[in-house]
């Protein structure tokens, strides 16, 4: 077992062949830390720790495409947590994020799926779709791909920004949240069930209006070429 920093401990387990996954790295992170994942190519799936694992345990488990041997992701500490660098082409990368740990993702090529982690999420993808379903706060951006974000918190710091250059943007926010909404598309359509109205100029459409009285919080959704949707998230019965 190797100690990189007081924040976490990392243990590496390798396999002689290339099963799925071909390696597993585990360690521990404190709540309030940040896990940053840089992935070059492949699908990234992020979840909370497995039910049988401690809530502060993280797992990094890459799976290789047939006939490939990409490098094992490199983990390095920084002042607020860890950085995971996954180079080469992966079939997929499984990441389990500890309770209360924030996740930041930079993806060059491939879809990003984040489900049920308790920290905040910030995803930037060059090429690929992004889907986030969390109880906290989340935002995302893509160049070529679509975004779907479902977040459970009714408050957040400042303005959340979700954008796609070529793709749709869909965001679900609790229906009781109070914030100022800005939706814009250069060449597409806008839709919201919060009862907001906007303006159009040729192919441009914009909605700029308060939700539930507005306030200091903001949501800014934009697509250059695609549909933008701001949807109400109602509590389950």
Number of folded domains in the chain?
A: 2
- Of 180, 189, 171, 186, the closest CA to residue 208 belongs to 180
Residues 92 and 7 in one domain: yes
Per-residue pLDDT of the chain (237 residues; tens, 9 = 90+): 222 333 444 444 433 333 379 999 999 999 999 999 999 999 999 999 999 999 999 999 999 998 888 999 999 999 899 999 999 999 999 999 999 999 999 999 999 999 999 999 999 999 999 999 999 999 999 999 999 999 999 999 999 999 999 999 999 999 999 999 999 999 999 999 999 988 877 778 999 999 999 999 999 999 999 999 999 998 765
Give yes or no: residues 158 and 61 share one domain.
Answer: no
Print the domain residue range for 203: 153-237
Residues 112 and 169 in one domain: no
Of 199, 190, 197, 191, the residue nearest 232 (C-alpha): 191
In a domain, 196, yes or no: yes
Q: Which residues pair with 109 in a beta bridge?
A: 41, 127
Does the residue 40 lie in any domain?
yes
Residues 115, 159, single domain; the answer is no
Residues 34 and 90 in one domain: yes
112: CB partners within 8 A, 6+ apart: 43, 44, 46, 105, 123, 125, 128, 129, 130, 131, 140
Distance CA 112, CA 127 (A): 10
Q: Return the closest-CA partner of residue 90 out of 59, 62, 128.
A: 62
Give the number of other Cβ atoms within 10 Å of residue 67's Cβ: 6
pTM score, whole prediction: 0.90
Measured between alpha carbons, how far is 215 from 93 in angstroms, rounded to an integer?
39
Q: How many residues does the chain have?
A: 237
Please report whether residue 21 resides in a domain: yes
pLDDT at position 6 is 30
Residue 24 included in any domain: yes
Distance CA 139, CA 149 (A): 7
2 & 86 share domain: yes
- The answer to whether residues 6 and 110 belong to one domain is yes
Domain boundary among 97, 119, 141: 119
Q: Does residue 158 share a domain with residue 111?
A: no
Question: Is 139 inside any structural domain?
Answer: no
Q: Are residues 103 and 17 in the same domain?
A: yes
SS3 114: strand
Q: What is the pLDDT of residue 199?
A: 86
Neighbours of 20 (CB within 10 A): 12
Cα(32)–Cα(49) distance, rounded to whole angstroms?
A: 16
Q: What are the φ and ψ backbone dihedral angles of 234, each rounded to 5 degrees? A: -95, 145
Measured between alpha carbons, how far is 112 from 60 in angstroms, rounded to an integer? 15
My answer on whether 5 and 59 are in the same domain is yes
Residues 4, 115: one domain? yes
Same domain, 158 and 115: no
Q: How confident is the model at residue 236, as a pLDDT?
A: 66
Which pLDDT score, from 0 to 100, does residue 51 have? 94
Structure tokens at 68: 């490939």
Residues 187 and 173: their CA atoms lie apart, in Å, by 24
- Of 175, 185, 176, 195, nearest to 220 by C-alpha is 185
């Amino acid at each position: 077992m190797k100690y990189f920093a007081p924040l976490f401990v990392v243990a590496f387990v390798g396999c002689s062949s290339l099963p799925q996954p071909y390696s597993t790295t585990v360690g521990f992170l404190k709540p309030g830390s940040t896990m940053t994942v840089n992935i070059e190519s492949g699908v990234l799936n992020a979840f909370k720790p497995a039910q049988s694992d401690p809530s502060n345990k993280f797992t990094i488990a890459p799976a290789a495409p047939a006939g490939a041997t990409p490098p094992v992701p490199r983990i390095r500490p920084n002042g607020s947590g860890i950085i995971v660098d996954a180079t080469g082409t992966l079939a997929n990368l499984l990441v389990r994020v500890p309770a209360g740990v924030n996740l930041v993702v930079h993806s060059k090529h491939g879809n990003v799926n984040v489900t049920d982690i308790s920290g905040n999420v910030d995803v930037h993808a060059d090429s690929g779709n992004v889907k986030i379903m969390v109880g906290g706060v989340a935002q995302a951006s893509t160049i070529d791909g679509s975004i779907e974000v479902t977040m459970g918190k009714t408050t957040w710091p400042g303005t959340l920004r979700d954008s796609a250059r070529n793709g749709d943007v869909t965001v679900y926010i609790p229906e009781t949240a109070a914030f100022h909404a800005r939706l814009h598309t250069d060449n597409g359509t806008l839709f919201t069930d919060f009862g907001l109205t906007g303006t159009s100029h040729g192919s441009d459409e914009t909605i700029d209006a308060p939700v539930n009285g507005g306030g200091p919080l903001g949501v800014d959704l934009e697509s250059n070429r695609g549909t933008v949707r701001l949807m109400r998230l109602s509590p389950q019965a």
